[in-house]
Amino acid sequence: MRRLNAVAATMLGLLCAVPAWAGDPVKGERLFRAQCATCHSPHPGLNLIGPSLAGVHGRAYGAAPGYRYTGATPDAAVVWDDATLDKYIADPKSVLPHGTMLYAGLRDPAQRADIVAYLQTLP
């Protein structure tokens, strides 16, 4: 029985170690449309209230072409990688405290992972 419990604990630990951003981009696209598309476009060069999120994965903060940033420190040292996107979607003010995005955040880690997976697909 102890061995079975040890195996179960190991398996649980491995499951919990899966990165939060190992999501489903198809689900992420639906969530993006429901949660983000009012203010952000997935199309390159199409800025709305917020900057286009095309190519956001790997981009530095403040580098969306043609978008005028306000509020947050222009030289904020933020690069939009998986972990940073996940943290930002969960609580935008924790990443950019002076940012102007009016979004309270998304608590569900699986949904955040899906959105991050979708953002990775954008050109």
| DSSP per-residue codes, 41-94 | -SSTT---SS---TT-TTPBTT-STT----SS-TT---B--HHHHHHHHH-HHH
CB 98 within 8 A of CB 72: yes
Tokens of 11: 């398996």
| Phi, psi for 71 (deg, rounded to 5) | 90, -65
For the chain, the average pLDDT equals 85
Task: Report the percent of the chain where pLDDT is more than 90.
Answer: 65
Tell me the domains of the chain and their CATH numbers.
20-121 (1.10.760.10)
Q: Give the global pTM.
A: 0.80
Q: What pLDDT was estimated at residue 69?
A: 85
Cα–Cα distance measured from residue 41 to residue 86, given in angstroms and rounded to the nearest whole number: 18
Compute the average pLDDT of residues 52-79.
85
Compute the average pLDDT of residues 87-100.
92
Could you read off the pLDDT of 44-60 as tens digits, one per residue? Answer: 999 999 999 999 999 99
Tokens of 49: 């209230």
Q: What pLDDT was estimated at residue 71?
A: 65
Q: Which residue has the higher pLDDT, 29 or 69?
A: 29
Compute the average pLDDT of residues 90-95.
94
Compute the average pLDDT of residues 64-73.
80
Q: What pLDDT was estimated at residue 72?
A: 58
